[in-house]
Structure 1
């Protein structure tokens, strides 16, 4: 359980620093308003990403753990020219392993996987700064960027867990910014297609809401279809139907999610683990995400995308059986920039608590051997099982709270300008 205590200690230390920043928020924001955004963002990344990386892996000499070892298996084999899905198993899109493999050409070590994640997180934050700049003052943007870099849900999951979920947000924001600069929907669609091929199968979920509100639907659809068919034409002769491997992730039972939490109250009679729950989860997350996009389609793209993204993927996190709370890293940037009202002490406090719970729970759950609760007696059988179930319930309730915030119309971005 040392990793759990370590993550908890880091999370509490980060939260304390954030509270200090919040107390001095007005002064810090005013100071940041007059600084170079490039200098502040670079310094923040060096201080809160590169320095922790150096301290954890190079000075303390800790070995990489958890998902990093799986990413190393994929990336190292891809860097040697092996074929994804045929020569090695992968739950990710076909280009993911080769993207990691390209970085491993620079430094052939599992630690390079973590450094790559830190670099991509920095790029995602930088692009987000550009994305929100038309609606939010520089001081507010930079203040939140520094808070984001300190959030347990980003720092710990990036440097200790080496999670890649923020990549999906990166590709969508990049696609929008390129379209804004070129004025061409084609490039927007191409970058989104590349994002799908480079990240996870769940990236496809955001494409449906974006398609619904897109005025030039044919120009949006044709490049994606062309790239999809080309990818299939390359993959199928090489690996056959093995390119469907990423869909196997939906069969993996994780926690917390609503089916797992309500299961013991129905004496294990709701069919947890059955495929129909995956379809229910898919329809709920996609339906609510699409509804949000249509609801806010007349708002700014930043406003619409932030809320659609949070509703879609936060819902997925608690209704999909294969999702778990690490997915906070997927929607943390739009949640903090485009949904949470930073003048509300309640919202900010709950966001901090939410970060800690989402970071600590997965490690507890894994080290308890991924418990499943079939009856109420299972929940109270031991103190650890009661603690685990309570944490799951808290995460689901808080996720629901932020989904509601995202779906509810507010002038949060206008207030920050």
Structure 2
């Protein structure tokens, strides 16, 4: 058996299976959960957080005494560098924004151990889930179930408990911008807020900034808001460390899976080999921003607050599909938005697709990293070289198919909102004419 070569893999897959089953039970039999959660939403949210974040942390890291791995270990190194007074990029490695290492160094004053980063990140995640639930409370009939489902999903569970990922913060920033969307100087403050996110989180946020440019009401003020943060930051960083602040750009130097490039490489490797990975990443980034910008321009009339959640999903969904250096765990960036914006409990087929995608995105990296040493499939011989490589390739194909379905579902949702808006406008216009006559 493949997974029996690594006991951690066995546990990870087993837990993911159990969580997937729990997710399906919640979707398949929602009524008992509604009766249990709806009268006491605070208990539902805190209970989910404690049961699916805090207790697993205690079991894995305090009782079983496992050492943190994956991104948690890397985060700790940069947090420790900041904690010891080092200069980001110059004194310690970081692919994140300049202030990120200093922010995650704060819990080290309580406990100087990599383990502390997991509950620290989980608290941020809880705050974003709570804020999302509050925002959708009047818009989604099962908003509370979606919040519980988010904690249950295997990919979000693994991303937080085993990797202390921060990518869900991007959506948290988007939620903050909603408070300024309808204000007189809203475009300016939206620019300032997104600019601050590039200083605090990481530069990858640029992938959504260009589509947002076409969505905001006042583009000049939006750019001014970005510049008010960005220009002083660049000047200060350059004065402190020269061009070392460009270090985050090096993060795109690795092939990742699953994406369209990884599954088409066996029969298109000759084309892909004509350009470097950096060039391929740049092309896919431009394509992502261009496609998302077209959607923002076409449906701008829906308004920032109404369109942004779907545009957020669409942008990062396309990014995952096109970017050869985008790992599957980037789904963590927008999974929470998918649940609240797209998923209805009655849509069991879509729910099953999401659960399957979550499960596969946990399993496939185990196969690809541990058992295949992150190999690329440059021809069909490499795909059929072993049963493991064939399994990995087939799983990647299914994952890409599910991601394509998710992007299409998002685009269909945008068109549905557009049609509903058109009908509402036509109805209002007809009512107005009737009253005049």
TM-score scaled to structure 2, two decimals? 0.88
Q: How far apart in 1 are the matches of 2:186 and 2:306?
A: 21
Residue 24 (1) aligns with residue 29 (2):
yes
Alignment of 1:228-243 (within 5 A): 228-243=230-245
Residue 318 (1) aligns with residue 321 (2):
yes
Aligned to 1:366: 369
Specify whether residues 29 and 273 from structure 1 end up closer, same or farther in structure 2 by C-alpha distance, changes over 3 A only.
farther
Residue 110 (1) aligns with residue 114 (2):
yes
- Secondary structure of the residue aligned to 1:390 is helix
What is the Cα deviation at residue 318 of structure 1?
2.0
Specify whether residues 363 and 164 from structure 1 end up closer, same or farther in structure 2 by C-alpha distance, changes over 3 A only.
farther
2:381 to 377, 380, 385: 377
What is the Cα deviation at residue 248 of structure 1?
0.9
Residue 5 (1) aligns with residue 10 (2):
yes
2:293 to 255, 267, 290: 290
Aligned to 1:101: 105
Aligned to 2:75: 71
2:86 to 75, 82, 86: 82
Stretches of structure 1 lacking an aligned partner (at least 5 in a row): none
Aligned to 2:178: 176
Q: How far apart in 1 are the matches of 2:143 and 2:248?
A: 36
Structure with greater Cα Rg:
2
What is the Cα deviation at residue 180 of structure 1?
6.1
- Secondary structure of the residue aligned to 1:343 is coil
1:333 to 336, 345, 358: 336
Aligned to 1:410: 416
Alignment of 1:91-240 (within 5 A): 91-137=95-141, 140-177=142-179, 184-240=186-242
Specify whether residues 62 and 240 from structure 1 end up closer, same or farther in structure 2 by C-alpha distance, changes over 3 A only.
same
Question: Any conservation in 1 of the 2:216–2:304 contact (CA below 8 Å)?
Answer: no
2:307 to 301, 304, 307: 304
Specify whether residues 248 and 379 from structure 1 end up closer, same or farther in structure 2 by C-alpha distance, changes over 3 A only.
same
What is the Cα deviation at residue 161 of structure 1?
1.9
Residue 398 (1) aligns with residue 402 (2):
yes
What is the Cα deviation at residue 166 of structure 1?
0.7
Which shows bigger deviation, 378-387 or 198-207? 198-207
What is the Cα deviation at residue 335 of structure 1?
1.2
Q: How far apart in 2 are the matches of 1:187 and 1:354?
A: 36
Question: Any conservation in 2 of the 1:3–1:363 contact (CA below 8 Å)?
Answer: no
Matched length: 410
TM-score scaled to structure 1, two decimals? 0.92
Aligned to 1:248: 250
1:356 to 352, 356, 359: 359
Q: How far apart in 2 are the matches of 1:181 and 1:107?
A: 42
Specify whether residues 72 and 309 from structure 1 end up closer, same or farther in structure 2 by C-alpha distance, changes over 3 A only.
same
Question: Any conservation in 1 of the 2:187–2:216 contact (CA below 8 Å)?
Answer: no
- Secondary structure of the residue aligned to 1:47 is helix
Q: How far apart in 2 are the matches of 1:399 and 1:263?
A: 18
